[in-house]
Amino acid sequence: MVATTTLCKELDLKSLSKSLEGTQYDTERFPGLVCRIKEPKTSILLFRSGKVVCTGGKNLEEVHTAIDQLVKQIEAAGVPVTRTPEIIVQNIVASADLGCVINLNAIALSLSLEKVEYEPEQFPGLVYRLDTPKVVMLLFGSGKIVCTGARKTEDVELAVERVTKELRDAGQLR
């Protein structure tokens, strides 16, 4: 899960990097301060603007927990922070398994061509763009599926159900 929020109007990343444990700050490589949190296992990117990006949380509760931990550390370093920052989910990445091997060549021909990209020499998966919900599905010959671009877990579930139904209707799934 990738979520964003704003903690304050401006941050002095150089001084924060000295005050916070487990951080990396190298402006030559990346313009933000990288904080790695062990539990829940997440990474938080802090930017000078006060914006924050949290990645790696398995659910919204883990994102809230990670950001709350960071807020406490930042406040302990003497920086005033918005106490209840609004957290916005930007992207959910989820995986599923169809439970069988699938023929990507046949699927590429059976699905809507304008929504499918399949170039096995470039990438081993088939890229299928759905309009509703607006997500991208990566299908692999092993039967594994990766869904990206969802903002709600319900969208992931709906997308997997839809792709499974379309594959069954096209005779590509048993």
Q: Using an 8 Å Cβ cutoff, are 124 and 105 in contact?
A: no
Q: What is the pLDDT of residues 50-81, one digit of tens each?
A: 999 999 999 999 999 999 999 999 999 998 88
* Statement: residue 174 has pLDDT above 80: no
Query: Which CATH code, of 3.30.420.40, 3.40.50.720, 3.90.650.10, 3.30.310.10, is assigned to 91-169?
Result: 3.30.310.10
Q: Using an 8 Å Cβ cutoff, are 35 and 74 in contact?
A: no
- Return the pLDDT at 83: 67
- Return the pLDDT at 164: 94
**pTM given for the model:** 0.81
CATH of span 2-86: 3.30.310.10
**Banded model confidence at residue 82, pLDDT cuts 50, 70, 90:** confident
Torsional sign, CA 169, 172, 173, 174: positive
> Residues 75-82: contacts with CB within 8 Å, 24+ apart?
76/19, 77/15, 77/16, 77/19, 77/20, 79/8, 79/11, 79/12, 79/16, 80/8, 81/7, 81/8, 82/6, 82/7, 82/8
Mean pLDDT to the nearest integer, 100-128: 93
Q: What is the pLDDT of residues 106-118, one digit of tens each?
A: 999 988 778 999 9
